[in-house]
Amino acid sequence: MRRKLLPYLLLMPTYVIIVLFIYLPAYDSFYSSFFKVSVFGNRRIFVGIQNYLSLFTDKDYLASVRFTLIYTLSTVVISIFLSFFIALLLDQKVPGSRIYRTLVFAPYAVSHAVAGALWGFLLNPVVGHVNYLTRIFFGIQTQWLTTRPFAAYSLIFASIWKTLPFNIIFYLAALQGISSEVIEASIIDGTNSWTRVWKIIFPLVSPITFYLVIMSIISSTFQSFAIIDVMTKGGPGGYTTNMIYKLFMDGFRFQKTGLAAAENVILFFVMIIITVFYFVYGQKRVHYQ
Amino acid sequence: MKKVLVFLVVILTVLSFAKTKIQFWHAMGGWRIEVIQNMVNEFMKLNPDIEVEVQYVGSYEEILAKTVSAVQAGTPPHVVQLNEISTQKMVDSGVIVPVQDLVDKDPSFDVGLFLPQVLNYYKVGGKLYSMPWNSSTPLLYYNKNLFKEVGLDPNNPPRTYSELIEACRKLVKKDEKGNVIRTGITWCLYSWFFEEYMALQNQPLVDNNNGRTAKATKVVFNNQAGLNFMNLWNTLRKEGLMINTKRADWTAARQLFISQTVGMLISSTSDVALLMTESAKQGFELGTAFLPVPDGTPRGGVIIGGGSLWIIKQKNQAEVDAAWKLVKYLAEPGPQIVWHQATGYFPIRVDAIQKLQAEGYYKENPHHLTAILQLLTSVQNYNTNGAIIGAFPEVRDAIETAVEKMISGTLTPKQALDEAEKNANKAIKEYF
């Protein structure tokens, strides 16, 4: 009996924290999503599923879902392939590769908000470096952050720049974990490097790819708030507002707690789908050595 | 028993000497953090029994969001500075102590010395709910050197829309490749300017006398007055006479003006002090003027923007009293003059203005005077008192979103107004 009790006792502090800071708030958002709540939370009316209905009939919300898909898809796909490619290059034993590695990892040390501010400066239409260069070389000036479709391009570019190092670190570790025998065997068998990369190396690092895809989806769906807030504020005209930014606007700018809770619940289900997919698909299809 | 009594007496003595601690949250970043801290330090010197924790909490929106959470968590701050558009929301909230109640109980405080233009904004149904504090209006700033350079009269700034467009066209400068390297004007993409331009044409923003005789039920800006301003904005954009910023990016607009990339700027009067210093650094002469009006439209007036101080209900009455003392102090002529000179926000009291006038301050600081004159010459009615709407942030969002769509070419000015009207009305209806 004592043996059984001890582990639970040791886990108690963790349980208490999880219940207080995760389960209770989660329960509260489920509960609040069925209410219309006043600004200071002192009045609430039960409205059933009205919050959900108004979300799914709201053109702006649907637009934010659409942008979330576009933004997530392009960020994830481009950053995965690009990081794999860069990791391959960094894995080469050339002089100075250590310095390159350090430089390439630098963006990872920068927080999302700082990254957003940085790109905000660089892409500033008047005093930004990017426009300075494009004006000198191509004679064009672009309003990067305030016009369609450039606001979305800028945002996706900055997000990729931010997530790339994380992916590269993992790929590099995976590449260095591949035993040289396999590679040598393939060289003896006379494969060209293209086949070697896509038929041997890429499948061998597939567990990492899978992990990175999931992580990138989560980070670009749920952690993109800071970069959007700093760079475009969801504009122009709601064009770069994704689901998490919309939630922030409704919850913290307009104090519509009930509506924001409903949006939160929707994101919760999106998260569940991704997680389930991760466990089911991840075990079946990904090749582990 | 004796011991217990002695103990109690000791405890009570200690408590009676203990300071009342109150929190003051404000939204004034940059160099103004220090200005406010110094003002509060002065207050604490005069009131050694009160300790004020001053905190710069972030933007007005963040203060509101944080105040909401703090109230719900049961640890409300004592004095919070919120922007003018939160007025109806706070009145409805039930978590505040209306300033009027404290004024009525305090014979030492005379609200009659306040500028009526300022009081009229913050009074709802004849009752003053918060203490007006940092008040400002928009103002036209221009670069006199650039005006001279392109052959415009630096002492005769544009007064109408057509004069404004004409001046902008002259200010445009291109490099040898045909790229625009300097243009006419900028103002940050902020719905406040739209609201001001409705008042400047003596028009309300919402029904029921701008929400002041009964709660607003719908917006009434989708008319010729609204269209005048949208058309101006759209024309300036199409002809490349204006640079648009991100939403609410005041800094970007100021930078464009300071770097002499644009010749004119419409910004808050609270920037007067900053622009005076910066223009001197850049070596150009600053000019200020009233906002230009649409051709042939009689001038209405400007609305007070900025913020006011709210006292939040507390369990302990001593803390409310301390908060009132602080609020009262910050509205006194002395601190108001310090604040006015350091920032450009108006002194909210007639006696403070008179004192500065007598000292000859406005002769040496003509820009501060332009700002005040624009306010004092404003017609006073419901239109220029400003709208009060519970869902004001959403209404602003609706207007800004529509403007963004207009300047990215997706909507015409009329369509933009239609869309803004539709979304704003929806928000007003849903407000709870």
B245 vs B53: which has the higher pLDDT = B53
pLDDT at B275 over 60: yes
Cβ-based contacts of A249 with chain B (< 8 Å): 397
Beta strand B79-83 pairing with B20-26: parallel
pLDDT 10s digits, B90-108: 999 889 999 999 999 998 8
> pLDDT digits over A198-243, tens only?
888 888 888 889 889 988 998 888 888 989 998 888 878 889 999 9
User: In this complex, is the C-beta atom of B65 within 8 Å of any C-beta atom belonging to chain A?
Assistant: yes
In this complex, do B408 and A237 lie within 8 Å of one another by their Cβ atoms?
Answer: yes
Q: Does A1 score more than 70 pLDDT?
A: no
Task: Kindly tell me if the per-residue pLDDT of A279 is higher than 90.
Answer: no
Distances (CA, A) of B155 to A105, B241, B298: 56, 21, 22
State both tokens at B82: 């919120």
pLDDT for residue B21 is more than 70: yes
Residues recorded for chain A: 289
Mean pLDDT of B234-246: 92
Half-sphere exposure of A172 (CA within 13 A, CB side): 21
Predicted pLDDT at B14? 57
Contact yes or no for A43 and B93 at CB 8 A = no
pLDDT at A180 exceeding the cut of 90: no
What are the φ/ψ torsions at residue A200 (nearest 5 degrees)? -115, -55
* Residue B432 in contact with partner chain A when CB distance is under 8 A: yes
Counting other chains too, the contacts that A284-289 makes at CB distance below 8 Å and 24 or more residues apart are A286/A206, A286/A207, A286/A210, A287/A203, A287/A204, A287/A206, A287/A207, A288/A207, A289/A204
Question: Which residues in chain B are closer than 8 Å to A39, comparing Cβ atoms?
Answer: 68, 89, 92-93
* Min distance B134 CA to chain A CA atoms (Å): 22
- Token digits of residue A231: 């760079």
DSSP B327-341: HHHHTSHHHHHHHHH
B69 shares contact with chain A (CB less than 8 Å): no
Q: Is B26 helix (H, G, I), strand (E, B) or coil?
A: strand
Helix (H, G, I), strand (E, B) or coil at B293: strand
CB–CB contact B180 A39 (8 Å): no
Mean of the pLDDT values across residues B150-172?
Answer: 95
| Pairwise CB contact (< 8 Å): B408 & A236 | yes
> pLDDT category, A147, cuts 50, 70, 90?
confident
Q: Mutation test of the interface with chain A: which of B90, B174, B189, B246, choosing the one with the most A Cβ atoms within 10 A?
A: B246
A141 has a chain B CB within 8 A of its CB: yes
> Is the bond leading into A236 cis (omega within 30 degrees of zero)?
yes
Check residue A81 and give its pLDDT.
93
- Evaluated on CA atoms B167, B170, B173, B179, the torsion sign reads positive
Residue B401 contacts A, CB cutoff 8 Å: yes
Cα(B21)–Cα(B295) distance, integer angstroms: 55
Whether residue B410 and residue A148 make contact (CB cut-off 8 A), yes or no, is: yes
Phi, psi of B79 (to 5 degrees): -125, 125
Instruction: Tell the CATH superfamily of the A52-114+162-285 domain.
Output: MetI-like (1.10.3720.10)
Give the residue, A101 or B366, on which the prediction is more confident.
B366
Rounded Cα distance, A19 and A121, in Å: 42
Domain boundaries, chain A: 52-114+162-285
Q: Write down the residue that tokens 């060209």 correspond to.
A: A192
Give the pLDDT score at A285: 63
Q: What Å distances lie between residue B227 and A238, B252, B403, B427, CA to CA?
A: 22, 26, 12, 21
Is there a contact between B28 and B328 (Cβ–Cβ < 8 Å)? no
Domain at B17-136+305-372: CATH code: 3.40.190.10
pLDDT above 70 covers what percent of chain B?
Answer: 96
Question: Is the CB of A237 less than 8 angstroms away from the CB of B394?
Answer: no
Nearest-by-Cβ selection for A139 from B93, B179, B391 = B179
Contact A127/B95, CB-based, under 8 Å? no
Quickly count helices (H) and strands (E) in chain A.
Answer: 15, 2
Average pLDDT score, chain B: 91
Q: Return the half-sphere exposure (C-beta side, CA atoms, 13 A cut-off) of residue A99.
A: 3
Predicted confidence band at B155 (pLDDT cuts at 50, 70, 90)? very high
Residue B16: pLDDT band by 50, 70, 90 thresholds?
low
Domain boundaries, chain B: 17-136+305-372, 138-301+391-430
Q: Is the pLDDT of residue B57 over 90?
A: yes
Assess whether the region B17-136+305-372 and the region B138-301+391-430 belong to the same CATH fold: yes
Lowest mean pLDDT segment, chosen from A222-226, B202-206, B217-221: A222-226
Q: Would you state the pLDDT for residue B10?
A: 61
CATH of B138-301+391-430, one of 3.40.50.12370, 3.40.190.10, 2.40.50.140, 1.20.120.530: 3.40.190.10
Question: How far is Cα B387 from Cα B125, in angstroms, rounded to an integer?
Answer: 13
Q: Which of A157, A136, A163, A162 is nearest to A145 (CA)?
A: A157
Give the closest of A40, A124, A235 to B71, CB-based: A40
Nearest to A39 among B68, B404, B407 (CB): B68
Kindly tell me the sign of the dihedral angle through the C-alpha atoms of B373, B128, B389, B213: negative
**pTM check: above 0.90:** no
Q: Mean pLDDT lowest for which of A50-64, A142-156, B11-25, B60-74?
A: B11-25
Whether the ω angle into residue A149 lies within 30 degrees of 0, i.e. cis, is: yes
User: For residue A43, which residues of chain B lie inside 8 Å, CB to CB?
Assistant: 432
